[in-house]
Amino acid sequence: MLQWRLCEVMRELFFPELKYYRLHKMARSIHLNAALMQEYRRNPETVMNAFGLTEEEKELVRSKDPVRMFNAGVMAYAIFYLIWEAEGWIYRPPEEQTLYKEQLMS
């Protein structure tokens, strides 16, 4: 059931929902600008305010929960930039940075 639900969501994987335009713009800017990434790590609220994020968007970003963000419809690459890059997951051991666990899907 879980696999089916995720696959259904996957079909919308790369559609950038208009309601998250600000969030996507912030995530991309953090990805491209090392100084902004440092500022975001020090003071995420300041950066979120600078990009005019809504309270719903701020809650999603504060959660630092990629599954929650994905299920809410945030673009997968924005999640990658905010979690795997800004939170440094990309440098963690594989078992700590991967979400898919085969035993859950069988």
Partner 1 sequence: MARFIGAYMSSHAPQIILQPRVSEEYVAQLARVHGALMELGDRIRRRNIDSLVVFGSDHMETFFLDNYPQLLLFTGERSSAKFGDKEVEIANNVELATHLLYSLLDQGFDVCFSQEMRLDHPFASPLYWVLKTAGNVKVIPFHVNSNVSPRVSPKRCYQLGREVRRAIESFNGNSRVAVYGTGGLSHYPGTPLYGKVDVDADQYITAKIVEGRGSELANLTSKWLDDTGNFELRTWIAALGAVGDVRGEILVYERAYHIGYCVAAVEAV
- Which of 39, 64, 72, 80 is the binder for partner 1 (CB under 8 A)? 80
Q: Is 65 in the site for partner 1 (CB under 8 A)?
A: no
Q: What is the DSSP letter of 82?
A: I
Question: What is the C-alpha to C-alpha distance for residues 90 and 74, in angstroms, rounded to an integer?
Answer: 19
Contact 75, 16 (CB under 8 A): yes
Distance in Å, CB of 57 to partner 1, minimum: 15
Question: What is the C-alpha to C-alpha distance for residues 78 and 84, in angstroms, rounded to an integer?
Answer: 10
Site for partner 1 in 33-62 (CB under 8 A): none
- Which of 4, 35, 94, 106 is the binder for partner 1 (CB under 8 A)? 94
Question: What is the C-alpha to C-alpha distance for residues 49 and 18, in angstroms, rounded to an integer?
Answer: 18
- Which of 6, 58, 64, 72 is the binder for partner 1 (CB under 8 A)? 6
Residue 28 three-state SS = helix
Q: Is 101 in the site for partner 1 (CB under 8 A)?
A: yes
State the residues that interact with partner 1 by CB under 8 A: 6-7, 10-16, 21, 24-25, 28, 31-32, 66-67, 70-71, 75-80, 83-84, 90-94, 97-102, 105
